[in-house]
Amino acid sequence: NAGVTQTPKFQVLKTGQSMTLQCAQDMNHNSMYWYRQDPGMGLRLIYYSASEGTTDKGEVPNGYNVSRLNKREFSLRLESAAPSQTSVYFCASSVFGEGDLYTGELFFGEGSRLTVL
């Protein structure tokens, strides 16, 4: 059972380059999230998708775009990378809704470590 899978695990970019982080989950979750984790700043939400076809901004969305390709996949794109975007990026998924089945428990991927020079 793979859970939440992120690619790539490591990436080095030059300022101004673009790239896409991929995330896929096999737990049939409806909600997916992208976070960044920085020393001293904790985990901060970049974008989230409550369900297929919807996306919304989180706490720190500037410089990023997302695509909810289908129920399984949620990608994060950096159009013009900046050194301030050097961070560890985590994708997460959960089930949110009404009723006992919808616990909201968050499951995380292993992270993608991005360095922008």
Partner 1 sequence: KQEVTQIPAALSVPEGENLVLNCSFTDSAIYNLQWFRQDPGKGLTSLLLIQSSQREQTSGRLNASLDKSSGRSTLYIAASQPGDSATYLCAGYSSASKIIFGSGTRLSIRP
Of 63 and 111, CB closest to partner 1: 111
How far apart are CB 24 and partner 1 at their closest, in Å? 14
Give the interface with partner 1 as residue ranges (CB under 8 A).
4, 31, 33, 40, 42-43, 45, 48, 50, 56, 58, 90, 92, 94, 96, 103-111
Nearer to partner 1, 85 or 109 (CB): 109
**Amino acid letter, 113:** R
What is d(CA 60, CA 64) in angstroms, rounded to the nearest whole number? 9
Q: Which is nearer to partner 1, 17 or 37 (CB)?
A: 37
Backbone phi and psi for residue 91, each to the nearest 5 degrees, phi listed first? -100, 145
C-beta of 28: minimal distance to partner 1 in Å? 16
Shortest distance, position 105 Cβ to partner 1, whole Å: 5
* Measured distance CA(37)–CA(26) in Å, rounded: 23
Q: How does DSSP assign 56-81, residue by residue?
A: EE-S--TTEEEEE-SSSBEEEEESS-
